Structure 1
């Protein structure tokens, strides 16, 4: 394999089919992620603009709207459910706490609006299934916001694996951690509330990244899991997984070991080893990525130019709407992750190998 030529030939936006048109977005949920990350990404995007913002607070919605010239409507959740400003947007981005994704997806679907829903899809696999069903029954597009799948280094790594660079995949290691308590001035926030976060916090919010990225890279889904979780800090008393470790067995025979913690020094890495070589991505889940390739006693490190994964994600979503195309990752793809998460937390309680159902 002529590696350098192969890398030089890579088309970063291998998914794009149009450069014409604009998808008008309503952003539902105005937490820090939406305000600090999403709004700037949509503003810089090629195919989207924000016309409506939706919040529990009218004042917050109006303040956010005043920061962006394209935003015409600042409405409350109740007004959104009542259909206010429905003619001003084509699609909805949902970034509320996990357990509230379903209600806003239901309203969006009934209004005939396509849906981009943050991961994880919902608090439980059962509610995630309802979310998929309501979008299907109303014939609207549903995409799950796995931004890492738009990262050029990840897409390039996938092609390398497809083309046999590492041989047959054998094993993988993934890790994602962050000091959640140091990121927010008030520790009383929804990721530590099981009624809002779902099965837990570290695996639901962070551990889903290595799970989904491995699925994307390997084109294979996990079938069985084991897990251990523990919580020590008083602020994690309502969730079981301040610290976590879990294993995944994939359909193609690959075995993965992963760790995730919401109360640790920041770490973000993913490594895949095959019969003939290795791909090491570190850092990987925080908007930047370095690709290290090893094969035949030769190691090459490639630094990709940083891209705004959120901008790529929104343009990908808009491209599929404008071209009437199908999306990946769709709702069915997201359901596999939800059932995997369910099995991991079940395994942590049982201490046994759990099958993903």
Structure 2
């Protein structure tokens, strides 16, 4: 099989391989890449000679650093339909991965952020390595954790997902497993051997067979910092307003709480409040589809949010890392400003 230049589609034994091939851009996703991946998944699902699918990133730096933020930024400024089309196709792909009928193995080696989490953490077999650096960093660019993260993060133990969503901090392999965003840690040097071992499984191989192969090659991920300090995270981030969380953090001792508070203070106040409300709604939701529908409505609202354009300017375009948020403080972001992000997209992605 063949993909496009930026997505290599091939067969190896009984495995279908999808390789993201945009290493110079940390394998960040474009619309053609999303379509190529979705098409390949459909073909592999229908092919009785394919037992499993393996998704990996080319190069040694990243699995996938997320979506093409510049495209979304430029589309929003022009008022074109490209951004909405991108989100609709990406979110449908996330949903397809979560409901894939065959074992779906994601090799999360290197940087795995934003859309990369959507490509991996919804899968049935999520492999991290000693090089994994995973994050949902969207509050730092005036955005919010999407790609179904409002379903995934609330299902992490305690408030670990709340901490990830608000701070956008990067976590390692042990933390990713603790947060239920990954399953096993395999040494990066063993990934080629892992692919070979999965590819020689019989066509009738079950998910349990794939699990046995991966677990047989898994190595200890080390201690999770999030697990070690979970009591503090659960205490301080259990509140339903960002203001209360910040106040609770001041009552905690130690560097972790102070670092968390300082980080939150640098993020877009609008994004922080939107993210927390979406995470709390996601915790009460019955399905990933429900969360993706809600996220799409919020995405369309983001296109009218000045913080998104300012955040992308500061992080991606000018790279001065000095965004000027508007409003600049949590106190200035009222409930009405957040409610406008909860207008449902029409048509919805999925019928509920």
TM range (shorter): under 0.3
**Of the two structures, which has the highest relative contact order with CA contacts closer than 8 Å and spacing of 6 or more?**
1
Q: TM-score with structure 2 length normalisation?
A: 0.28
Higher normalized helix content (fraction of residues)? 2
Higher normalized strand content (fraction of residues)? 1
Q: TM-score with structure 1 length normalisation?
A: 0.27
